[in-house]
């Protein structure tokens, strides 16, 4: 009996050792492919607002099979597209990675800079003089998780970025990408930063002209309009139009609109997302991503931008938004099923997040008897400069109020030998009295200001000394710049409607589950680094979400 028991315990120990050895042996395993999906302007609640109408293969599959961080927050202001995409892939913040807005000013030269602007390169696939192609990641100061993957594999991994927006393709793909593709006039293009000419499969895809085909079909609701419940009436005063003075109600004749506005109107329809995912499949197929002959992980960074264009135009309570997300759910389901067939279920890792959220239209909130409003930023700026002229005898001491920041003309101040601290004091006292402004602070003295700690930290994280303004403006909740934004919606603030974003991981190496613990946009890149066993990006300040892989 003792002998049998001894053999039994030895067997248990051996099996346990074998299991541990198997785990150790597989510790260096990695997925064949990582797919990053950033849904532009996707609020966290969109995961659940339309949940009952979603199919089983898209958002529901992510939530049911994957791991969701339910309380993922953006840790900086301003909450804009370029900043969000950069932060997702760098694990860093504007103070470090340098992408301080979609546009920002270089303080030393006072030159306005678009986030991916690079005048030393030309477009590929369009007229070289077209500024839409003069783009690269040149302005990005840190590495991305995609850069670190290339470095860790001696540049054997294949990395490609794709988005309707140049910034949505270029910034996630990083400095060492094999390619980045974005759309100009309904065609996919790139720049000489990546290549001398478009690959044949891209030329063929453009030649097939799916843009024209989708525009010809027009935009009607996926389901009968009367079954849509999360929206204001189809004809309402909060929505913008494609053509000035013309109402936009279903069915929408997108072909006719494109004849007046150009083919890029596809971006402002759900079919922009459909087209992006269709092109993403073509990239995976023709580049054979996920089957790298060097046995290393490939990375496809996808940004879905139509949700942002549509949100800006129609506001978040529109039937157009509901239909857009129902169609996106269907497109995502088809894309995940494609990955199952192409790469193999369990062989790839996917994450889905957003670059920012969006506010309700302030007039909608006011009409429902809530608080909110539109900042008259241009009028405020004009009045501020008039006050400064009267006080100091010099015109245009403030040259911009971009990104909810006041930019002082330091060259002018120095040449006139003016007191900069006094100028700031006059500006701050003036702005504090303006309707719709909650807080105003000198960024160099932010720690001395009476601003709630959370907002203060977000402002510090968003402040890049060489690329940000001198004074930060924090609007009241549900207030935003109304100059050109009285219909539709926008974003950019610290508030949860702009800063609470979805984050779901699914596939290889991912535990099923969820957490409501505070996590941050900056945690995405280090989580991927932990999964891939590679270094974190060189400006990373985030932490791996340990529950995902424990």
Active site residues: 81
With b for 16 or more beta-carbon neighbours within 10 A and e for fewer, the 145-183 pattern comes to bbbbbbebbeeebbbbbbbbbbbbbbbbbbbbbbbbbbb
Please choose, from the candidates 352, 353, 360, 356, the residue with its C-alpha nearest in 3D space to the C-alpha of residue 321: 360
What is the distance between the alpha carbons of residues 249 and 265, in angstroms, rounded to a whole number? 16
φ, ψ of residue 219 to 5 degrees: the values are -115, 105
Q: How far is CA 520 from CA 89, 499, 550, in A?
A: 12, 10, 18
**Cα dihedral: 461, 466, 472, 474 (round 10):** -50
How many CB atoms sit inside 10 A of residue 204's CB? 12
Handedness of CA 191, 196, 198, 199 (dihedral sign): negative
Give the number of other Cβ atoms within 10 Å of residue 486's Cβ: 13
What distance in Å separates the CA atoms of residue 187 and residue 201, rounded to the nearest whole number?
13
Separation CA 331–CA 281 (nearest Å): 12
Q: Rounded CA gap, 502 and 520, in Å?
A: 10
Number of other CB atoms surrounding residue 416 within 10 Å: 12
Closest CA to 464 of 160, 192, 142, 194: 142
Best CA proximity match to 289, nearest among 499, 77, 36: 36
CB 166 within 8 A of CB 149: no
The CA distance from 449 to 452, in Å, is 9
Instruction: State how far the Cα of 500 lies from the Cα of 71, in Å rounded to an integer.
Output: 7
Residue tagged 């403006």 (tokens):
473
The long-range contacts involving 48-53, CB below 8 angstroms and separated by at least 24 positions, are 49/230, 49/325, 50/230, 50/322, 50/325, 50/326, 50/329, 53/223, 53/322, 53/326, 53/329
Angle (nearest 5°) at CA 122 between 121 and 125: 145
């Amino acid at each position: 009996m003792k002998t049998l028991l001894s053999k039994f315990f030895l067997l248990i120990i051996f099996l346990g050792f074998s299991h541990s050895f198997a785990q150790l042996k597989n510790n260096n395993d990695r997925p064949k492919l990582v797919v990053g999906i950033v849904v532009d302007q996707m609020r966290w609640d969109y995961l659940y607002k339309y949940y009952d109408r979603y199919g089983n293969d898209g958002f529901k599959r992510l939530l049911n099979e994957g791991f969701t961080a339910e309380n993922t927050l953006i840790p900086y202001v301003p909450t804009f597209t370029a900043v969000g995409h950069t932060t997702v892939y760098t694990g860093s913040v504007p103070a470090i990675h340098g992408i301080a807005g979609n546009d920002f000013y270089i303080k030393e030269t006072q030159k306005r800079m678009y986030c991916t602007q690079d005048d030393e390169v030309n477009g590929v696939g369009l007229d070289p003089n077209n500024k839409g192609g003069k783009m690269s990641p040149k302005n990005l100061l840190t590495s991305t998780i995609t850069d670190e993957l290339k470095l860790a594999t001696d540049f054997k991994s294949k990395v490609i970025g794709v988005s309707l927006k140049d910034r949505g393709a270029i910034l996630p793909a990083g400095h060492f990408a094999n390619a980045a593709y974005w759309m100009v006039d309904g065609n996919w293009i790139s720049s000489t930063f990546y290549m001398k000419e478009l690959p044949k499969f891209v030329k063929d895809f453009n030649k097939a002209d799916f843009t024209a085909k989708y525009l010809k079909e027009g935009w009607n609701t996926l389901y009968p309009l009367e079954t849509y419940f999360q929206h204001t009436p189809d004809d309402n005063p909060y929505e913008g139009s494609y053509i000035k003075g013309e109402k936009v109600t279903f069915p929408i004749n997108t072909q006719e609109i494109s004849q007046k506005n150009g083919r890029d109107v596809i971006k402002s329809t759900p079919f922009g997302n459909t087209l992006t995912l269709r092109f993403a499949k073509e990239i995976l197929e023709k580049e054979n991503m996920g089957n790298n002959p060097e046995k290393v992980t490939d990375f496809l960074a996808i940004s879905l931008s139509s949700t942002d264009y549509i949100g800006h135009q129609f506001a978040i309570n529109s039937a157009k938004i509901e239909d857009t997300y129902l169609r996106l759910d269907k497109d995502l389901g088809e894309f995940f099923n494609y990955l199952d067939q192409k790469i193999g279920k369990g062989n790839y890792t996917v994450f889905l997040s957003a670059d920012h959220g969006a506010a309700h239209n302030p007039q909608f909130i006011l009409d429902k008897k809530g608080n909110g409003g539109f900042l008259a930023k241009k009028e405020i700026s004009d009045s501020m400069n008039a006050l400064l002229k009267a006080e100091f005898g010099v015109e245009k001491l403030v040259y911009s109020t971009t990104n909810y920041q006041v930019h002082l003309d330091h060259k002018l101040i120095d040449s006139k030998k003016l007191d900069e601290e006094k100028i700031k004091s006059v500006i701050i006292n003036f702005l504090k009295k303006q309707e719709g402004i909650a807080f105003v602070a000198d960024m160099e003295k932010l720690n001395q200001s009476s601003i709630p700690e959370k907002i203060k930290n977000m402002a510090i994280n968003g402040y890049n000394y060489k690329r940000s303004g001198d004074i930060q403006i924090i609007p009241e909740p549900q207030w935003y710049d109304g100059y050109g934004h009285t219909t539709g919606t926008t974003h950019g603030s610290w508030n949860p409607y702009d800063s609470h974003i979805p984050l779901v991981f699914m596939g290889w190496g991912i535990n099923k589950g969820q957490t409501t613990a505070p996590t941050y946009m900056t945690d995405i890149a280090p989580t991927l680094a932990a999964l891939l066993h590679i270094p974190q990006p060189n400006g990373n300040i985030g932490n791996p979400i340990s529950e995902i892989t424990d």
